[in-house]
Amino acid sequence: GDSVTQMEGPVTLSEEAFLTINCTYTATGYPSLFWYVQYPGEGLQLLLKATKADDKGSNKGFEATYRKETTSFHLEKGSVQVSDSAVYFCALRGALTGANSKLTFGKGITLSVRP
């Protein structure tokens, strides 16, 4: 079945540092890929998505590129801020047209950014 693997956390960075959070997946065909973020005390929010190979999703300075050859969707940001402190989840949606569009999530990783 479909699965998502995220790097182990937590991650602690200083403000303005470069961020990479690794995500790899196992799925049939060409799934859609997502990054969700959960800020303290809030619900899950979609951060960015990519629906086909080589697509780049971007939002709020975060980027991730859908790499079919390496089955990866790593999240990057050039300069993190304290306000980026949150839990980040990588997720996929199966490729089969007409199939259930449930999301399969990774375990999540906690990012803490210190001033």
Cβ–Cβ < 8 Å for 109, 9: yes
Residue choice 21, 49, 75, 86 for contact with another protein (CB under 8 A): 49
80 near another protein (CB under 8 A) = no
Q: How far is the CB of 74 from another protein (least distance, A)?
A: 17
Residue choice 92, 93, 111, 113 for contact with another protein (CB under 8 A): 93
Cβ–Cβ < 8 Å for 72, 23: yes
Structure tokens at 22: 């690794």
Cβ–Cβ < 8 Å for 80, 15: yes
Closest CA to 33 of 20, 55, 50: 50
Beta carbon nearer to another protein, 70 or 101: 101
Instruction: List residues near another protein by CB under 8 A.
Output: 4, 32, 36, 42-46, 49, 51, 89, 91, 93, 97-98, 100-108
